[in-house]
Every structure is written in C-alpha cells, then in structure tokens.
Amino acid sequence: MKVITPSGEKIDLLTVNIGPSHPATHGALRAFVALDGETVAAAAQEIGYLHRGFEKMVEQGTYQQVLPYTDRLNYCSAILNNIGFCLAAEQMFEIEVPERCQTLRVLLSELSRLIDHLVCVAAAAVDLGALTNYWYLFNPREEVYGIWEKLSGARLTNTFSRIGGLYRDTYEGFETDVANVLVSIEAGLDDAFKLLEHNRIFIERTRGVCPMTPDAAVAWGWTGPCLRATGVDRDLRKDDPYLGYDTYDFQTVVGTTGDTYDRLLVRMYEMKESLSICRQALKRLRPGRVNTSDPRLILPGHDKAYHDMEALINHFKLVFEGVRPPAGEFYSGTEAANGELGFFVVSDGTGKPWKIKVRPPCFTQFAAYADLIEGGMVADSIACLSSINIIAGELDR
C-alpha cells in the first residue's frame, strides 16, 4: 500500500493479517494491520469467528437450559458464568440461596477466577517466550480441574450452579482437596512472581507497552482487571456486593499506568487476594442445605415426586415448562475474571426467556485493541493481546 505519511514522506506500507487462526490470537481473532517496517501504522480488528448465536439459542429453551450455554461464554472460568446467570435469575425471583450455597459459590468463583488468571498470565508469558511460567502455573490449574471433575463430572464446562442453588453438595474430602490446591497455586504463583516481576526481559517487553489512560478506559467501557490496571479502583465485589463479598477481607488491586505490565501484574496480585478469599470461605463452610426450598425453582425430591401427585406435577412443569420469573426486564452484573459480566433478561412470564443479552467483559477490551496497538511494534501487539485476555467464547457469543 503506497501512502504519503503525515510528515510528507512517500512510503510503502505492508498490509498483514494477524490471525484469525494463529496460536498467539488465543482463539479466532483477526487484526488487519498496515505495517511501516515493524511499526503498526494502523490496525482494524474483526470479530465473530466464534459467533454461535448464543442469544438466539437461549430463546429456544427454558431458563434452566440456558445454563450449559453460559459455560461456553468464558470457558476458562465456566463456573463464574453459571453463577452470574443464576444470580440474575434468582434476583428476578427475589430469593436468596442458603448460607452454605453462598459460601460455596464464593469459593468456587474465586477458584475459577484463579484458574482464569493463571491461564491469562501463563499464556501471556508464553507469548513473550517465557515458557517456564507455563509449567509452574498450569500444573496447579490442572489440580483445580481435578476438583471440578470430582465435583461436577466435567472439567471445562461444569454447569455446576443451578437457579436456586447448586447441582449438588460437595464430595467427601473436598475441603482437603481445595486446601491442597491453594497451596499448589500459591507455590506456583510465587515461582512465577520470582521469574517475572523483576525480570528485566519481561519488564522491557511489557512496561510502557500499549498503555491506557483511565479516562479512555472508561470511555471504552472497560471493567475488571484491565480497568483497575489503569488505576481506577472499581470492583463489583466491593461496590455492589453480592454473595456476601462485603463480609470477606480482601483488597482490590490497582495499577498506575495501565500498560501491559500493569495488566498482568494486577492479575497476579489479584490471585493472592483470591487465595485469601478462598481460605476464608473454607473456614466458613458449615454443613447445611445447598438449595433453596422454593418449589418454584427446585425440583421435589424423589421421595415426594414418586408418592405425591402435586409434587409430580410440580416436577413435570419445572422440567417441561421451566422456571417462570415474573414478566419484566432485569439486568444483573457480577465481577467475572475479565470484568463485569452482565445478563440482561427480558421475561414474558413464561418458562422461556424472551431475550437474554450477555454483556461480555472482553468485548469492550477488544474494541479498543486497534487504539492500543497503533504506533507500537508488531511484537508488542501480541504482548498486548494476551494481557487484555480475550476469550473468544464470550467475545463472539
């Protein structure tokens, strides 16, 4: 592409597609860039390669049938999506789940946040050529998947939460497994900190790379770790506490310059806070019910469904017609690993949602991608992409 630069120089720009199918794009994302040497003169990004029509498909089934779809939004932390959607539905019914369920949800949320951040940091380090971190961080992640497997039968797409509670209570030895995994994560994290935090190569590859100002981040609608990296102290767990997060002792982590280094380090320090929340939740875990007793939401037990006509009808109607929130429009946002994950639910009073719109956190971050990488080097665009943690599942829905 022959152009005249703003300074009046006549040059030849090279147009290159970064992605859509490239290991460094972590999914199918496309950035079309015009290169002046190794500098990105201009960029445009395209999404939709993983568009499955989430919002159309959830209109076809019942509210309970939405849950497996939510697993596939941010598949690195499926339980966070499950819980986010369940909270939205439960708030429409205006019910609260029992104490044990709340504590378990906090524990599972924070474990999910941990594995999500582990993937982000480990993959970002690999993209910069620091492969060792990957082993240190992915081994404890694997142990968490072991817990997920025992808990729900699935590793990646857990569908563990239910509207009104959880799929089931934990298994015997769950607390020990979690306590052990927290130790492994902490050890892996400490190793990664030693390798990265003061590593000269890492710092030179990330510090000052693709920075974002607080005002621009807000204008781009950023939330979560990427917004906090710019220095804006905002975390839904603190601002709009849900699941009793206000009773846990933890701190929000903020950065200063909003560059790639800050975005990754914010995630690493957040993992320490999540570890602490997990430990507090473990201490609080008391035996009890995990499901509400509200018959509008929870299936009657076998003992009732087999012997009581009304319970059988209730069971039939819940399965075939779905739970029925009151007609109306409702939005609920929770702090997912990437930022505010919102569900906007329109109900017509039947068991099928009229509309569910997901507000995916990484959508806003990828929208700013061209702005972030323009003027930098091609290699920086890769470092930047892994630090904003794009998960194509929730980006394209």
Q: In Å, how far are 117, 141, 225, 277 from 111, measured between CA atoms?
A: 10, 9, 16, 9
Place of tokens 């290991």: 23
Which residue's structure tokens are 């929870």? 298
**What Å distances lie between residue 281 and 104, 171, 277, 284, CA to CA?**
7, 17, 6, 5
Q: Is 129 in the site for another protein (CB under 8 A)?
A: no
For 1, other C-beta atoms within 10 Å of its C-beta total 11
32 near another protein (CB under 8 A)? yes
The residue among 17 and 293 lying less far from another protein, judged by its C-beta, is 17
Q: Could you tell me the smallest distance in angstroms from the CB atom of residue 60 to another protein?
A: 6
Task: Out of 156, 201, 203, 219, name the contact with another protein by CB under 8 A.
Answer: 219
Q: How far is the CB of 374 from another protein (least distance, A)?
A: 8
Q: Please select the residue that binds another protein; options are 227, 243, 265, 271, rule is CB under 8 A.
A: 227
Which residue's CB is nearer to another protein, number 70 or number 158? 70
* Residue 329 binds another protein (CB under 8 A): yes
342 binds another protein (CB under 8 A): yes
Give the torsion through C-alpha atoms of 76, 79, 83, 86, to 10 deg.
100
Residue 367 binds to another protein (criterion: CB under 8 A):
yes
The answer to whether residue 215 forms part of the interface with another protein (CB under 8 A) is: yes
E strand map for the chain: 2-4, 10-12, 14-18, 30-36, 39-46, 161-162, 165-166, 328-336, 339-347, 355-359
Q: Which of residues 229-288 bind another protein (CB under 8 A)?
A: 231-234, 238-241, 246, 254
The residue among 294 and 348 lying less far from another protein, judged by its C-beta, is 348
Where in 81-100 is the site for another protein (CB under 8 A)? 91-92
Q: Does 4 bind another protein (CB under 8 A)?
A: yes
Distance separating alpha carbons of residues 136 and 139, to the nearest angstrom: 6
Question: What end-to-end distance do the CA atoms of the chain give, in Å?
Answer: 34
Rule CB under 8 A: say whether 214 interacts with another protein: yes
Binding-site member from 282, 374, 377, 379 for another protein (CB under 8 A): 374
Question: Order of strands, edge to edge, in the sheet holding 339-347?
Answer: 328-336, 339-347, 355-359
Among 135, 171, 306, 331, binds another protein (CB under 8 A): 331
**By the 8 A CB rule, do 195 and 201 touch?**
no
Among residues 56 and 194, whose Cβ is nearest to another protein? 56
